[in-house]
Structure 1
Amino acid sequence: MDPEYTQDAENFFNTPEDFNRAIIGVYDMMQPAYLNIWIGEIASDNSIAGGESVNDTQGLHEIQNMTHGGVNEELRAVMRVNYTGIARANYIFEHQDKIDFPGKDLILAEARMIRAYFYFNLVMYFGDMPLIIDRRISINEISSTVRTPKAEIYAQIESDLRAAIPVLPATVSEIGRMTSGAAKALLGKVLLYQNKFSDAATVLGELIDNNTGGYGLFQDYSTMFLVVNQNVNEDVFTIQFSGLQGGDYGCLICLNGNAAVGFHGIRQYEGPFYADGNSYNLPTQDLYDEFDEGDLRREATVLDIEAFIAAQPNPSEISYAIGGGGHTGFYNNKYIKRADERGLPDDDLTSPLNYRVIRWADVLLMAAEAFQRSGNDARARTELNKVRARVQMPAINATGDALYQAILRERRLELSGEGYRFWDLVRTGQAAGRISGFVPGRHELFPIPQVEIDLAGGNWSQNPGY
């Protein structure tokens, strides 16, 4: 939430270029995607925090151990980043009537979709949150702003997306701009997360059946997460990154590159293909063991460092270090620093590897779940088995709950390392059985940062159990 009077609108929003600059500023606040990758994996059974020590990004270690509370830098960053993005979108809506020009409706549709994405992040993490629409609020208003019930926030998210879908184009010439397909996929996800299975099946089924965006499953899963294979048919909703600097360790949200990639890299690595990094977000043995023998997604998802070294022609010349924050022997092989994909100049922070917020396989699996839960097992199997066929895994012929559980397991096999796992476990009621230390009634939500409660004059109650 921007302080009062920090921006002067008198000399802005007077030209189409001003509106375009403003929407670029909204897009910019999607860049801290590393937070979702880290927290969505580390809070789950998929990975541990890792890093140099347990005091290195302490908040991630607390999240891993389910000991997090109201003082947590990562959770505060989640709240601040998303509300900053909302304020930037609302700034456009404050002044939407100042001038008219061709293409303004498209800019407003983009703003609606991205605002929906920011609010979806907030409601996933924190539940009830202040809902501020079409205007910014001053610092003086915060203490009188109450937390809005999450059902109302979801209603606004749905409204924004349904308004954006008919305006956004199916395809774009400028890579990274929002499309109607991305908005439909996000709407389907939002509906699924509310257990509106029939509505989700309708939206996602229509996206699949009327595939005007040309989406599909990228043929080679094993190379899909290389930089050379981004912005392909698999990519439905993607956050774009570049290898330019932009920021530094003092301002990770200022970066132009994907910070997760360097942080996931192998500590002090010297050898082929990969490059050194900070050994964060390390996959667990439990995740590695979940894959069936012959499922090529295992190696594409989880780098077994010792097996990789042993398979090289010069294993004795390859070395790496183990961080004090934990070591599993595994690394996130989807978002990892590779030798020929480094940005400049500080390549820990400047990866050009995009973050796939929603890809086509996720759309198919969300559709499979929505169809199964709304009584259409046959259509659910169709979508599920498309995903399995891509990686040469046998078709599943189950029905009822066995099919439902197969779909949830397939989500883990297909999407691990991408930041979805914690939310899948929570929304399907499986978190307590899978996450060590998870307390039902508390850990479904994260705590409101205490500093934000203080800034609100104590007007916001803390989430239960914290």
Structure 2
Amino acid sequence: MKYIYTALLVAMGMLVSCDQLLDIEPEFTQDAENFFNTPQDYDRALIGAYDLLQTSYLQIWIGEIASDNSIAGGESVNDSQGLHEIESMTHGGVNAELRNVMRFNYAGIARANYIFENRDKIQFEGKDQILAQAAFLRAYYHFTLVTYFGDIPLVVDKRLALSEVTSSQRTPKAQVYAQIEKDLRVAVETLPWTNPEIGRITKGAAMALLGKVLLYQNKNSESAQVLGDLITNNQAGYGLFSDFSSLFYTANDNINEDVFTVQYSGLEGGGYDCFVCLEGNLAVGFHGIRLYNGPFYGDGNSYNLPTRNLYNAFAANDPRRDATVLDIDAFIARQPNSDQISYAVGGGGHTGYYNNKYIKRLNERGLPDDDLTSPLNYRAIRFADVLLMAAEAFQKSGDDGRARTELNKVRARVGMPLINSSGGQLLEDIYRERRLELSGEGFRFFDLVRTGRAADIIAGFQPGKHELFPIPQVEIDLAGGNWQQNPGY
């Protein structure tokens, strides 16, 4: 990712610039207006658009902490205060984490738009593949924004000049979704099933995200068709990894279960002053056990701590329980030298549990500071998620038989009894399975909101308000006050 060398203007007037992203060859001879002279320039710009995927730590944190799955944790209640406000449902328009969601995703959109703005400058073989990957990325960033904030300014095929910021308006989310679908269908039609360069977007990733986008809009028949086609015509060889207990080890990055994965590297260091500059997965170190001294795990910052409610949701014989939630005291008690193992409790809360999917392990650490440089990839969509989304879409479309088939593939992988229910009970079983299978990965809050169950499950959730997060106040100010805040904030 470090080879992109043009500083790109972020929509809403925000500029993300870090020395790590600037590598000018030679210095002072190229700028944004005389770029795109070679195929390599287009590919470098595309890598710049990929780069913003590395802020996935925000999805893991907010998607879990806003739900019943996790608490914020950390050193104190003032450590990442915005996460504690999200946990208690007291968040408002001044929230660092929510502002980062908006500006990082608009940075990604701006970088994708930069490519489309110059799509016709030169012709070369393979340009359609670059444009299709850029279309997917733009769709993903827009989808993230619309699920967080609802109506958002829709900017396509151009960068937003500073003079345009104060006149920009929020676009109805239906129009944003239409653009997302358009971009994803281009990606589906253009991209191959496989790519020799690991981490590049493929046809399967585009189909999976399209199916998800349709499901979020309750276009259940269309979602079932897309996801069903992906499962049936699976030319990429997607499948379920046999050993769930080691699924989230770095040794098992980029396996057949990975449909859309954010790639990380532990070979480049970074600092706390610029999380968007990192090449490693910082969520892993931040999820680590505070001042831990013992085997297998590394120490960390005790963020995003699973709740007892989540731990108890699993059957005792479900192997996903311990693979998802680390019961630290039980783990220590099983060790032969348990009296020599120690850890500390942070002032931001303690549950006794840790996110065991994305956690620092001693043999998986990156370069110092290894809190910030984990090489563990983030699975934005894995095949188990595809199967469960398909099960939901088929059930809601009236096909209980196909829904059970896809649901039971997920349960069979971990040796759990097959489901034989139908109708409303089957749908509840699918929802429950999504929690058991996907907890710790950043999807729980959005699943509860889109299915209308959030108010019954999340403490402090106010219907008519908390379905969306507030627009960051600084963005409203930058837009000259033209944007109305989301209801209730």
Q: Quick check: TM above 0.5? A: yes
8 Å contact kept, 2:269–2:368? no
Correspondent of 2:87 among 28, 49, 64: 64
Q: Is the 8 A contact 1:297 1:414 kept in 2?
A: yes
Aligned to 1:291: 314
CA 1:205–1:437 in 2, change beyond 3 Å: closer, same or farther?
same
Q: Secondary structure at the match of 1:356?
A: strand
Deviation at 1:245, TM superposition (A): 3.2
Asked if residue 365 in structure 1 is aligned to residue 382 in structure 2, the reply is no
Please point out which of 404, 410, 417 is paired with 2:440: 417
Pick aligned residue for 2:377 from 339, 354, 362: 354
**Structure 1: stretches of 5+ with no match in the other structure:** none
Asked if 1:206 corresponds to 2:229, the answer is yes
Q: Which amino acid aligns with 2:34?
A: N
Q: Which deviations, in whole Å up to 9, do the C-alpha atoms of 1:17-36 show, x marking residues without a partner?
A: 10010000000011000000
Do the aligned partners of 1:246 and 1:254 also contact (CA within 8 Å) in 2?
Answer: no
In the alignment, which residue of structure 1 is the partner of 2:20?
A: none
Written as runs of structure 1 = structure 2, the 5 A alignment for 1:315-334 is: 315-334=338-357
Structure 2: distance between partners of 1:97 and 1:140: 25
Q: Distance in 2 between matches of 1:174 and 1:465?
A: 46
Match of 1:281 among 304, 309, 316: 304
So what's the TM-score if we normalise by structure 1?
0.99
Q: Report the Cα offset of residue 136 of structure 1.
A: 0.5
Aligned to 1:85: 108
How high is the sequence identity, in percent, across the aligned residues?
A: 72
More deviation, 238-247/175-184: 238-247
The Cα shift of 1:164 comes to: 1.1
Of 239-248 and 435-444, deviating more is 239-248
CA distance in 1, matches of 2:218, 2:62: 22
Q: Hey, what's the Cα distance between the residues in 2 that align with 1:247 and 1:99?
A: 36
Residue 385 (1) aligns with residue 408 (2): yes
Q: Which residues of 2 match residues 402-413 of structure 1 at below 5 A? A: 402-413=425-436
SS in 2 for 1:368: helix
Corresponding residue for residue 239 of structure 1: 262
Partner residue, 2:33: 10
2:76 counterpart residue number: 53
Residue among 230, 245, 251 paired with 2:274:
251
1:345 aligns with 2:346: no
Corresponding residue for 1:160? 183
- 1:246 deviation in Å? 4.9
- Alignment partner, residue 95 of structure 1: 118
Encode CA deviations 1:327-355: one digit per residue, 9 max, x unaligned: 00000000000000000021000000000
The answer to whether the 8 A contact 2:269-2:372 is kept is: no
Hey, what does 1:73 align to over in structure 2?
A: 96
CA contact (8 A) 1:39 1:60 kept: yes
Tell me how far apart the structure 1 counterparts of residues 261 and 32 of structure 2 sit (CA, whole Å). Answer: 30
Are the counterparts in 1 of residues 271 and 372 from structure 2 also a CA contact under 8 Å? yes
The letter of the residue matching 2:404 is R
Residue type at the aligned position of 2:349: G
Give the number of aligned pairs: 466
SS in 2 for 1:452: helix
CA contact (8 A) 1:4 1:138 kept: no
Separation of aligned partners in 1, 2:269 and 2:249:
22
Give the match's secondary structure for 1:237.
strand
SS in 2 for 1:282: strand
Query: What is the distance in 2 between the residues matched to 1:139 and 1:259?
Result: 32
Q: Which position in structure 1 is the counterpart of 2:5?
A: none
Q: Which residue of 2 aligns with 1:215?
A: 238
- Cα distance in 1, alignment partners of residues 238 and 14 from structure 2: 44
Q: CA deviation at 1:59?
A: 0.1
Q: Which residue of 1 aligns with 2:134?
A: 111
Could you tell me which residue of structure 1 aligns to residue 23 of structure 2? none
TM-score under structure 2 normalisation? 0.94
Amino acid across the alignment from 1:118: Y
Measure the CA separation in 1 of the matches of 2:54 and 2:468: 23
Establish whether residue 375 from structure 1 lines up as the match of residue 398 from structure 2: yes
Alignment correspondent of 1:30: 53
One-letter amino acid matched to 1:56 = D
In structure 2, how many angstroms separate the alpha carbons of the residues matched to 1:422 and 1:252?
23
The reply on whether 1:308 has 2:334 as its aligned counterpart is: no
- The answer to whether the Cα contact below 8 Å between 2:388 and 2:434 also exists between their aligned partners in 1 is yes
Alignment RMSD (CA, Å): 1.2
Q: 1:4 to 1:263 in 2, by over 3 A?
A: closer
Q: Verify the 8 A CA contact 1:4 1:139 in the aligned structure 2.
A: no
Cα distance in 2 for residues equivalent to 1:195 and 1:246? 43
Q: Is 1:450 the counterpart of 2:482 in the alignment? A: no
CA distance in 1, matches of 2:470, 2:427: 31
2:168 aligned with 1:145: yes
1:4 is displaced (CA, Å) by 10
Deviates more, 1:71-80 or 1:1-10: 1-10
Q: Distance in 1 between matches of 2:269 and 2:151?
A: 33
Contact kept in structure 2, 1:244 and 1:345, CA below 8 Å: no
Amino acid at match of 1:393: M
Choose from 189, 213, 216 the match for 1:190. Answer: 213
Q: Which stretch of the first structure deviates more once superposed, 223-232 or 2-11?
A: 2-11
Instruction: Give runs of ≥4 in structure 1 deviating > 6 Å.
Output: 4-7
SS at match of 2:71: strand
**Structure 2 counterpart of 1:122:** 145
Structure-2 change in CA distance of 1:246 and 1:312 (3 Å):
closer
Q: Of 175, 180, 204, which aligns to 1:181?
A: 204
Amino acid at match of 1:15: T
Shift of 1:12: 0.6
- Matched residues in 1 for 2:338 and 2:441: separation? 30
Answer whether contact 2:270 2:369 (CA < 8 A) is retained: no
Judge which range, 9-18 or 34-43, deviates more: 9-18
Aligned to 2:4: none
CA distance in 2, matches of 1:188, 1:438: 28
Q: Deviations over 1:10-63 (max 9, x none)?
A: 321000010010000000011000000000000000000000000000000000
Unaligned ranges ≥5, structure 2:
1-9, 18-29
* Residue pair 2:184, 2:207 contacting (<8 A) in 1 also: yes
